[in-house]
Amino acid sequence: MKLERRLLAIAPWLLVISAVARTWIIVTGFGNESIDLYVYWSLAPHVLDGDLYQVVSPHSPPDFPLPFTYPPFGALVFLPMTWMSWGLAQWSFRLLSVLCLYWMVRVALRLVAGEAWATGARLWRQRAILWTAVLLWMMPVFHTFEFGQINLVLAAAVLAAMVARDQRTAGAGLGLTAGVKLVPAISGLYFLASRRWAAAGWSVAAFAATAGLGFLVDFDQARKYWFELLGDADRVGPIATAHNQSLRGALSRSLGHDVGLSWPWLVAAAISVVLALFALRAAVRAGDALIGVLAVQFLGLLLSPISWDHHWVWVAPLLVWLVHARIAPWARNTLLALWCPVMFWDVIAFQLDRQPTIWTISRPGWLSALGWVYPAFALVTLVVIAVARNGAHEVAELADRDERELTTQRL
């Protein structure tokens, strides 16, 4: 506690130091190009020209042409950014991402703190600043800044929607976010599990509106995306490169070929769904909104054909939950021991340096095993959540029953 108080006292300075240090590393290295952000910035205007899916970014790597891979609505959302100069857009987006990281941490802490937030809001806000300083060094967060990815912005929007009390706000927020990039759509499972039927309905309506707007802007362009390009993982990128930390990527590296939707993937996907549903059920029964949201997000990352390592920014609020939530010590220690080393050591870069090319599927056995690190730990996390949160619920039920019995005896 003494160490925490000392760190909290200088938390703003630690955040400034972390931000400056990380910025220096980015601008003096590969990250200064922000190649993914340049895709959004340079190609979004083509949504109005009708050739959004026929062009590629002029700053693509030689062996990896970068097209626009999101629905037409995503390009419309990026349009205001294209009115800025490239430098202004780049730095504005970086600042927005830092703010989104801070906001994610703050929401996670507020959910974990519960009623304690009201009595110690200043302390929890200081913790949010300190956590932001630390998480800037987490590899998925760093790679999000390095590539100029939208992960932190989308994660902040999804988290805001899923914990919003108003049903319309929650549903519309999620639907609009899924309209930008499809993966967040799986978050609707949380609405269903928590019986927020109105929010689920509003999310479907908002998502349908985003798709409809794309057709209004250019029917042929939207038709091409939804009926030809959707599901074409090869267009998004190489399935088996170490960057892809989905089940499909890990299985493909291990088996030496793209497994697609064959039986190995179907078995792994079925196991993931079962584990995620158990974890989600335990979280909802325990009233733990944050871990319920995270269980659904991990399932989405596992099932998506491509989940780049920087998509795993959802581990950030997981670490916050592990440190501050009231959970069994064995669960906390197990997951922290698994996630911290791979989150703060660039295990992905280690693999990239040892793969022949980003398109080579087969890997040596030990390198294939190392390529399982994110999906394997995600599966373990779902198991631990299911056991730990289900146990907490049973303890709470026993305590309530004992209290009722004592009250009855007194009467």
DSSP class of 149: -
Angle at 312 between CA 307 and CA 314, to 5 degrees: 135
Tracing tokens 């991990």 back to the chain, one arrives at: 298
CB atoms within 10 A of CB 141: 25
From the list 149, 106, 164, the residue with the least C-alpha distance to 316 is 106
| Residue matched to tokens 């325990």 | 286
pLDDT for position 116: 84
Kindly report, residue by residue over 304-345, the tens digit of the pLDDT: 999 999 999 999 999 999 999 999 999 999 999 999 999 999
- Tell me the C-alpha distance between 341 and 142, whole Å: 15
With a CB cutoff of 8 Å and minimum separation 6, the contacts of 245 are: 301, 307, 308, 309, 311, 312, 348, 371, 373, 374, 375
CA dist., res. 22 & res. 133, Å (int): 10
Model pLDDT, residue 391: 59
Of 94, 49, 102, 103, nearest to 75 by C-alpha is: 49
Task: Report how far Cα 384 is from the mean position of its chain's Cα atoms.
Answer: 19
* C-alpha Rg value of the chain to the nearest Å: 22
> Is the distance from CB of 19 to CB of 98 less than 8 angstroms?
yes
Q: Write down the pLDDT at residue 408.
A: 44
Tokens of 166: 């108003």
In the three-class reduction of DSSP (H, G, I as helix; E, B as strand; rest coil), residue 101 is classed as helix
Which residues have CB under 8 Å from 77's CB, separation 6+?
A: 180
- Distance between CA atoms of 226 and 197, rounded to whole angstroms? 26
pLDDT of residue 17: 93
Instruction: Determine the pLDDT at residue 379.
Output: 97
> Which pLDDT does position 402 carry in this prediction?
39
Q: In whole angstroms, what is the distance from residue 18 CA to residue 24 CA?
A: 10
Q: What pLDDT, on the 0 to 100 scale, is given for residue 364?
A: 80
The CB density around residue 54, as the number of other CB atoms within 10 Å, is 12
The C-alpha atoms of residue 162 and residue 177 are separated, in whole angstroms, by: 11
SS3 content of the chain, % helix, strand, coil (to 5): 75, 0, 25
Q: Tell me the one-letter amino acid at 358.
A: I
Q: Which residues of the chain have pLDDT under 50?
A: 393-411
In 110-124, which positions are buried (b, 16+ CB within 10 angstroms) versus exposed (e)? Answer: bbbbeeebeeeeebb
Q: Are 176 and 347 in contact (CB under 8 A)?
A: no
pLDDT (0 to 100) of residue 83? 94
Tell me the C-alpha distance between 212 and 137, whole Å.
Answer: 40
- Over the stretch 13-32, which tens digit does the pLDDT of each residue have? 999 999 999 888 888 776 66
